[in-house]
Structure 1
Amino acid sequence: MRQVGVNSLKMGDILGKTIFSSSGRVLLGKGVKLSPLYIAKLKDMGISILYIEDDRFNDVIVEDVISEEHRREAMEILEKSTRFVRLGKDLDGFEFKKIINKIVEEILFKKDILVNMMDMRSLDNQMFAHSVNVCVLSIVLGKAMYLDREKLDNLATGAILHDIGKVKMDPKLVSGATILTPEEIELLKTHTILGFEDLRKRKDLNLVIAHIAFQHHEHMNGTGYPRQLKEGEINPLAQIVGIADLYDKFTSDHSDVKRIMPHEACEILMGLAGTLYPFEMVRLFLRNIAAYPTGITVRLNTGEIGVVVDQNLSMPVRPVVRVFDESDFGSNVVKEYNMVEKRTIFIQEVLG
């Protein structure tokens, strides 16, 4: 299996990972042979990357942090809940607690975690996919910080609901599809207040969850919003969600920032450590992120082109790369470089 850009798809390519709709429904299942009609539909949906099967990479497994079933279920519950909120009804707190418990349990059960799969995200499911991803990333960091189970549950719930204040806003403000005016940007920022006001009224949710929604855009140096809080004034769980939120926005389509590759996002986050976010939190977060996810195509400093086929948990920026004899992946495997062992070899460029 390897990752490709949607513009590089060819008729007959076989889908390697299932693509879901905003409600968690399967749009295209793993194993589907792509026709010109399917490829055109994927482009219309705004999907920019996906995974395809490739005989040369049959042994390459791209694992998500959580199962497809739990990701689908979480998106389905989110989609249903946002419909309720728009209609003025209550969230189903029991349903949220059930799926949060499943996701937390699954992540706690895994011994070693490295986030190395990139989202196949469409325009229609951006908000729900983002919320689930922020939830997963937050739990991964919370686990690395050895948070107790109660804090992890509150963190996960606050993370999946961190943007709930956007639900009643004009879709134009939250879609990321248009450039907003300064006035619209200020209006969008009020989603933290709207989310807090909504969540704090819910007796079935801990008040900490409301504060996560309220504070996840606050920064240690006082440049955040809505209250310009500084170091020591921000709830640590909200800071965790803030880091996860920013990383996911950087590495996915249809957000309010331009998509960049994971290694670039990691560099930016490291640059913000100690200024916007606590240094130790950022360090632990990056230890669990694959800078070069499995399946991506790269050019090495040797000039060779290959695919990342495995990760080194001890050094996420130095993966294993399989190189072929031609830039378009010739049939003969030349070699594999384990970049922990081959220190003079490094990735020069990620190819789309």
Structure 2
Amino acid sequence: MKPTATLRPGQTLAKPVLNKNGMVMLGAGTQLTDKYIERLRTLGITDIYVEEDASSRTQGAESSPAIASHASASQERPNRKRNSAASKKAVDEAFARLIGNPLIRQQLSVPMLGDRFVRIYQTLLKELSDHRFIKDRLTLLHMKDPMLFEHTLNVATLSAIIGFAKQYSIEPLHDLIVSALLFDIGMTQLPDELLTKKGRLTDYDRGLIERHTVEGYQMLVHRSDLPGAAAICALQHHERYDGSGYPSGLSRSNIHEFAQIIALADTYDALVSRRHHRSSYTKRDAVEFLLGSGDRMFDLSLVKLFVGHISIYPVGSRVVLNSGQTAVITSVDSSLVQRPIVKIIREGDGRPVTSPYEIDLRAQFDLVIVDTAL
């Protein structure tokens, strides 16, 4: 056990630090920073176990919690190697899946752009799949939380679609995709328990989470093999159009355009994806949220561009209406993607429709899509 007064940055916890309610504040294996140490002292925590202390114990002290933690950490090392290999394989498979998947075009609500977008996006991804640093960071992200890794890939695809819609040339599109693949890399520095925590976050939890933007920036800013925008996006992707974001409270054009794009894609995918602490939003509700946040959280013109190009209901997909009816998407208006034209194939009572008929949801405001159907 080490007095907190003698702690140094870089030391590693051998045993979790708990608050008075028994909740984990910092998990075993967390590397101490100046901020963590200062916070521990502020909370009145006088002693903690660090790995170097556990290793210095004598063999006769086998019942010591610190030694048990250290032994556990030693036993986990082979597991970590196995986890690393599994995560590396998952990253390779994810790149292969994206590079070889023509269905990506279905995420575009403007079909005529689909083939060209897929060709350009997959060419850039193939180039980036050979980038050692990017793949290593994504492997760490997958080891930290597979859901967070999948979220990052989704954000990269959505960001690329927005860049494509803005008619970026190849070079800025490349830089945007790199930035999107690495925007959340600072999350690898957070305690595991915090990423999967359910329930309300404390002010201390929020402080740790907000720190990931600075951590990500510091991990990327000195890399000569990355575009400069990557570090900036890691730092700024939680800034907001009205200045209400963090870490610096930047607003409007003071936020890098790539960071604004990634922030929008990040928020949308977070809303429509299941999280450890909540279920997912419907795509319709997510779009409504983004439109309602225009010129507050995000530039409204960017939101409209995003909503106009992201296909939340691909043509041919099946959906369920609030009336209980099952329908097939037949046409999508890019200016109102959440209210497409649908063809009813099954009535609300389950009866199949012998002569399917169309309903334009832009004019039928009492009907909304509530779910997708198989």
With normalisation by structure 1, the TM-score equals: 0.63
Residue 271 of structure 1 is matched in structure 2 by: 292
Tell me, yes or no, if structure 1 residue 214 matches structure 2 residue 231. no
Q: Between Structure 1 and Structure 2, how many residues are aligned?
A: 261
Residue 263 of structure 2 is matched in structure 1 by: 242
Task: Read off the aligned partner of 1:248 and give its amino acid letter.
Answer: D
Q: CA deviation at 1:284?
A: 0.3
Greater fraction helix: 2
Residue 175 of structure 2 is matched in structure 1 by: 154
User: 5+ unaligned residues in a row in structure 1: which ranges?
Assistant: 1-20, 30-60, 88-122
Residue 11 of structure 1 is matched in structure 2 by: none
Residue 226 of structure 1 is matched in structure 2 by: 247
How far apart in 2 are the matches of 1:296 and 1:273?
A: 29
Task: Read off the aligned partner of 2:260 and give its amino acid letter.
Answer: Q
Residue 113 of structure 1 is matched in structure 2 by: none
Residue 321 of structure 2 is matched in structure 1 by: 299
In structure 2, relative to structure 1, the CA distance for the partners of 1:231 and 1:184 (3 Å cut) is: same
User: 5+ unaligned residues in a row in structure 2: which ranges?
Assistant: 1-88, 98-103, 109-117
Report the more deviating stretch, 261-270 or 146-155: 146-155
| Greater relative contact order structure (CA < 8 Å, 6+ sep) | 1
Q: Which segments of structure 1 move beyond 6 Å, counting only runs of 4 or more?
A: 69-79
In structure 2, relative to structure 1, the CA distance for the partners of 1:306 and 1:165 (3 Å cut) is: same
Task: Read off the aligned partner of 1:310 and give its amino acid letter.
Answer: T
In structure 2, relative to structure 1, the CA distance for the partners of 1:307 and 1:76 (3 Å cut) is: farther
Cα pair 1:71 1:132 within 8 Å, conserved: no
Q: CA deviation at 1:260?
A: 0.7
Q: CA deviation at 1:251?
A: 0.5
Residue 287 of structure 1 is matched in structure 2 by: 308
With normalisation by structure 2, the TM-score equals: 0.59
Residue 329 of structure 2 is matched in structure 1 by: 309
Cα pair 1:24 1:76 within 8 Å, conserved: no
How far apart in 1 are the matches of 2:311 and 2:140?
A: 37
In structure 2, relative to structure 1, the CA distance for the partners of 1:251 and 1:71 (3 Å cut) is: farther
In structure 2, relative to structure 1, the CA distance for the partners of 1:72 and 1:141 (3 Å cut) is: closer
In structure 2, relative to structure 1, the CA distance for the partners of 1:163 and 1:263 (3 Å cut) is: same
Matched residue SS, 2:363: coil
> Of 350, 353, 356, which aligns to 1:335?
356
Residue 35 of structure 1 is matched in structure 2 by: none
RMSD: 3.7
Residue by residue over 1:132-174, the C-alpha shift from the partner in whole angstroms, topping out at 9 and shown as x without a partner, is 1111111111111122322211111111111001113212222
Residue 9 of structure 1 is matched in structure 2 by: none
Cα pair 1:192 1:214 within 8 Å, conserved: yes
Cα pair 2:273 2:280 within 8 Å, conserved: yes
Q: Choose 1 or 2 for highest CA Rg.
A: 2
Tell me, yes or no, if structure 1 residue 348 matches structure 2 residue 337. no
How far apart in 1 are the matches of 2:352 and 2:142?
A: 54
In structure 2, relative to structure 1, the CA distance for the partners of 1:138 and 1:337 (3 Å cut) is: same
In structure 2, relative to structure 1, the CA distance for the partners of 1:186 and 1:225 (3 Å cut) is: same
Residue 222 of structure 2 is matched in structure 1 by: 201
